[in-house]
Amino acid sequence: IWQQAICWTFILIAGFSFHLGRRHHLRRGLFLNACGLLITAVTLIAVPSEAIWFGILNFMGCAILMTIPLESVLQRLRPEAGLVVSFSLFLLLRNVPGGTIGIGPWVWKLPASLYRFRVLAPLGFPDPLFRSGDYFPMLPWYFLFLCGWFLGKLFQKSPRCREIARVKTPILSAIGRKTIWIYML
C-alpha cells in the first residue's frame, strides 16, 4: 500500500506540474528520458538481475512528450469530466501488464500475442521473460498522469488555489529546483 501510494502521488504530481512553471515540456521530457536511460545503464552494470527497464523517469518523460501533441485536445474537455474519464480508464487498464483489463468481476483476458515482443513492454505488454526493478508502462499509468493534468486544470480555475500557489517558501523552492538530482543520487 505504501509503495503504491508513493507511486500514485508521484505520477499525479507529475501530471499536475505540467501546467506549472516555464513551458519547456519538450526539453523536460527528453531530459527525463535521458536520466531514465542513464539509470538503466547503471543498473545493468551494477545489478543486472534488478536492471531498471522503463522505470518512473522514462515513464514521466514519455508521458510529458505524449501530452504535448494532445494538449490542444485535452484543453477542450471540462476538467471534471476529463478527471472522471481518466481515472476510470486507469482503473479499467490497471492490470494490462498482467494480461487483463476490467474492473471487479468484469475482467477479460487480453490476447497472448500482445505479450510476445519485448519492444511492447513500454506500452504495458511485457513478454513472459521481462524483468525490471522499476516498471511503469504507459498503460495504465498514463491515465493517472492525465488525472494529475486535469487536477492541475481544476486548481487553475480556483482563485483561492491560485492565491495559495503564489505563496513562496524559499527552502521548498530551493529543494524543488534540485529534486531530479536528489532522485538521481
pLDDT in tens, 138-168: 999 999 999 999 999 999 888 887 777 777 7
Report the SS3 class of residue 165: helix
Which residues face 107 on adjacent strands?
102
pLDDT in tens, 36-72: 999 999 999 999 999 999 999 999 999 999 999 999 9
Task: Tell me the C-alpha distance between 164 and 23, whole Å.
Answer: 21
Task: Tell me the C-alpha distance between 116 and 101, whole Å.
Answer: 18
pLDDT in tens, 104-145: 899 999 999 999 999 999 999 999 999 999 999 999 999 999
The mean predicted confidence, pLDDT, of the chain is 92
Report the SS3 class of residue 73: helix
Nearest to 146 by CA among 95, 94, 82, 97: 82
Which residues face 109 on adjacent strands?
100
